[in-house]
Structure 1
Amino acid sequence: MVSADPPPDCQACPRLVGLRHELREQFPDWFNAPVPSFGSTDPKLLVVGLAPGMRGANRTGRPFTGDYAGDLLYETMLDFGFATGTYQARPDDGLELHEAMITNAVRCLPPQNKPTGPEIKTCRPYLIATLEANPGLRAVLALGRIAHETFLSALDLRRADFTFGHGARHDLGTRDLVLFDSYHCSRYNTNTGRLTTDMFRSVFTDIRQFLDGA
């Protein structure tokens, strides 16, 4: 059985391993390793991002911690009751997730934050293992098209049957899971207006209403 998280020195993707070794030399005090999932022991919501950010999760070792995307994500999760504490952009800030878990489609930092197709496929068994390890999951939030597509592939579902779109909800017909879509909460998307705070909160409103009624 595949572990839900890659080993700390995973060698599966040569390009990502090479970047990891370069950064370990430049920044020896950074995490610089595959980033494990973060969350509660019995989550109902799984948030799936793309990959660790260089100065975010790759530096801190916790998904979405240390960059702008995390500021928006954790603030929203706190407001909707999926987290308690205070987010201070570091893994020892005491923040706790409730009924929620955060992971990434690719667990290692890719150059220019752009994983290749083979790298996404190579890392998919860890997403599958995460699903299998958390049978109480009822909702999945895909942050961006790649997260949406790799999640569908993890369930052996046809992508053509579930079109990505911000605010979309997909009843998957398997494992009693519902997939929710959002544009990624990256600084680029918010700076360009592709994603606003209200748009992001609207998706979480739908998720909360679904879970509360489930």
Structure 2
Amino acid sequence: MESYNPNPNDHPLLVDGPLSSLYSELINCRLCPRIVEFRERIAREKRKQFRSWTYWGRPIPGFGDVHAQLLILGLAPAAHGGNRTGRVFTGDKSADFLVKCLNKIGITNQQKSEFLSDGLRMNDAFMTPVLKCVPPNDKPTAEELRNCSQYFQDEMTVLSNVKVVLALGKIGFDAYLRLIRQKFDFKLKDFPFGHDERYLLPNGKILWGCYHPSPRNVNTGRVNASMMIKLLSNVKEELEK
């Protein structure tokens, strides 16, 4: 699409539903000065191919079925993906790879995730990043992750039907462990991250590790479509038990 102006009114979970109040607060968050400066500078400067877009340039809400059994947990929006389009895993190469794989096993209704009103639907799944804004060099500080953790915690309170948490990358994996460690006594090293590693956690949820579908991981062969589809098929089988 040549141009687009993503608007909060285009985001279904901002307009209505149990997360609308939380997300209306979230999109106005300015807690992290370094990240705010970066996300807004990216939105002003833009990438050449997206010059005609009005970038979203603020925190990104989650997306999907709020009653879902599957939570797909990313690290943060991409600078010219979610930070441009206003939706997690939308409009960048990671999104292209991930959504195509999700569609292969029926978790999405279509193979592409390009912009807010493109018709994408999640089937019994919800996607959200643990960090709601794009950080410089894709590397958030510990303080920035802590600042965002309350939003993540509030999301999880609403997403009460989640049975499996699929963490795309170690940061998201560890962030979920830190969240539940507030109520349970264990060490992060008890649950080492790995691709297709599955753990039953003290809260009764299953945490599943997955290499992040970043262009770097895909281009180096660390993860490929067949690996991802196999893992997602395993997750779907677990949900159907």
Q: Common fold, TM-score beyond 0.5?
A: yes
4+ residue segments displaced more than 4 Å: none
- 2:189 is aligned with what amino acid? A
Q: Which residue of 1 aligns with 2:66?
A: 41
CA shift at 1:41, angstroms?
2.7
> Quick check: 1:197 aligned with 2:225?
yes
5+ residue gaps in structure 1? Answer: none
Shift of 1:50: 0.7
Distance 1:32 1:145, change over 3 A: same
Equivalent residue, structure 2, for 1:77: 102
Indicate how the Cα distance of structure 1 residues 161 and 35 shifts in structure 2: closer, same or farther if over 3 A, else same.
Answer: same
In terms of mean alpha carbon deviation, does 78-87 or 199-208 score higher?
78-87
Deviation at 1:4, TM superposition (A): 4.6
Deviations 1:108-156 (A, max 9, x none): 0111111111111211111111111011100000001101001100111
Q: Which residue of 1 aligns with 2:112?
A: 87
Is the 2:43–2:84 contact (alpha carbons within 8 Å) kept by the matching residues of 1?
Answer: no
Distance, in Å, in 1 between the alignment partners of 2:212 and 2:125 is 18
Identical-residue share of aligned pairs (%) = 33
CA contact 1:50–1:105 (8 Å) conserved in 2: yes
Instruction: Give distance in 2, aligned partners of 1:92 and 1:138.
Output: 28
Q: List aligned pairs for 1:59-78, cutoff 5 A.
A: 59-78=84-103
Equivalent residue, structure 2, for 1:52: 77
CA distance in 2, matches of 1:130, 1:8: 14
Cα distance 1:86–1:194, how it changes in 2: closer, same or farther (>3 A)?
Answer: closer
1:207: Cα distance to partner? Answer: 0.5
Match of 2:191 among 143, 150, 162: 162
Q: Summarize the Cα distance change of 1:67–1:25 in structure 2 as closer, same or farther, 3 Å threshold.
A: closer
Does residue 206 in structure 1 map to residue 225 in structure 2?
A: no
Q: Matched residue pairs, number? A: 211
The CA deviation string for residues 18-46 of structure 1, in whole angstroms up to 9 with x for no partner, is 11332343347100010000001311100
Q: Does 1:115 align with 2:143?
A: no
Residue in structure 1 matched with residue 40 of structure 2 by the alignment = 21
The worse-fitting range, judged by mean Cα deviation, of 100-109 and 20-29 is 20-29
CA contact (8 A) 1:4 1:127 kept: no
Q: CA RMSD in A?
A: 1.7
SS in 2 for 1:64: coil
Instruction: State which of 23, 26, 30 in structure 2 corresponds to 1:7.
Output: 26
Equivalent residues of 1:86, 1:93 under 8 A apart: no
Unmatched tracts of structure 2, length 5 or more: 1-18, 47-52
4 and 202 in structure 1: CA distance in 2 versus 1, 3 angstrom threshold: farther
**8 Å Cα contact 2:193-2:209 kept in structure 1:** yes
Residue aligning to 1:131: 156
The SS at the match of 2:231 is: helix
- Name the TM-score, length of structure 1 as normaliser: 0.93
